[in-house]
Chains A and B, each alone.
Chain A
Amino acid sequence: MAVRKRKKKKKKDLQRRKPCPFCLDPTLDIDYKNVEVLSRFVSEKGKIVPRRNSGVCAKHQRRLAKEIKRARFLALIPYIVYTYR
């Protein structure tokens, strides 16, 4: 029974999606040189934030991932950030 309840909750969460920040503001440039924008969509560990969390649309997420990888290659963004505890 508990499992059914959880499934319902998840459906509700899916209904209210965040709007894509790049669709809202077309002047925001997705580019490997624009590190300030890219670093917003990278987690503390350096991973690319999934679009289910960031709300970026599929089209812009594809572009974003490509540019983040370019910026990583040029050492503008780290591949990984080690967080020892």
Chain B
Amino acid sequence: MAKVQKYELMVIFDSQGDEDEIRREFDVVQSLVEKRATEFIGRAVWGLKEFKYPIKKRQSGYYVYYVFKAGPDVPPQISEALKMDEMVLRHLIVRGDENSEKYLGILESGSATQTETPAQKVEEQQAPFPEQAAEEGNQPEGAEQPEPEAPSEETPPEKTESVDQPESGEKLHPSGETGEKTESEESKEQ
């Protein structure tokens, strides 16, 4: 018997076209996975993200993350099906680990903070993911009542992002500093 393993699937959907259609496509791919998988663990909509380089002349796309358990013959089948799908710009299937379920929550919360307006639209227009809609629905209600507090809650994430970038700079700087030191040392020797 083939061994059942955990897999992660990341799909990038085309951002051009009707948003409702794109959202429906998320469900189409989910049903495609559910049909073949032995166990479907979950889905997280990361939201609209800018590409770091253009893919098929597009500058942005919707990232959706699926986790499922299946035999080793299933990922190639899913991959073939996704290649036929015109709405899918790119996809990646990799073996999952114990952390792959953790990202279901992280990515979903990340999408809520990054693209606030689309998330609100989803609540109003669609209810394919009632759990998510319920969670996001509760947050704005709480935020609406104390209005002055809501902006203060939103600002910290921005700050943390801005803090993170310098950190990366700091991490990279030491190598540069060492390079400078070596140069200065060399000059001293000379």
Contacts and interface: CB of A to CB of B under 8 A. Distances in A.
Interface string B8-25: 001010000000000000
Given A33-B107, A40-B172, A49-B175, A76 B52 contact: yes
A53 B175 contact: yes
B94 A70 contact: yes
Contact of B189 (A5, A31, A53): A5
Given A9-B185, A31-B99, A40-B168, A70 B107 contact: no
A40 B51 CA distance: 18
B52 A73 contact: no
Nearest to B46: A33
A32 to B, nearest CB: 8
Interface in B16-68: 49, 51-53, 55, 61, 63, 65
B49 to A, nearest CB: 8
Interface of A: 2, 5-6, 9, 18, 29, 31-33, 36, 39-40, 43-44, 49, 53-54, 70, 73-79
Contacts of A75: 12, 51-53, 55, 61, 90
Interface residues of B, number: 28
B146 to A, nearest CB: 30
Contacts, number: 54
Nearest to B170: A40
- Interface-centre pick from A40, A75, A76, A79 (highest chain B CB count, 10 A): A75
Given A32-B94, A33-B10, A74-B90, 6 more contacts: A6-B186, A40-B168, A44-B172, A53-B175, A74-B12, A75-B55
B99 A29 contact: yes
Interface string B168-179: 100110110010
A31 B97 CA distance: 10
A33 B175 contact: no
The prevalent SS among residues of A at the interface is: loop
B175 A39 contact: no
Contacts of B164: 36
B76 to A, nearest CB: 17
A70 B186 CA distance: 39
Interface in B66-111: 90, 92, 94, 99, 103, 106-107
A70 B12 CA distance: 13
A75 B60 CA distance: 9
Contacts of B52: 75-78
B116 interface: no
A34 to B, nearest CB: 8
Contacts of B174: 18
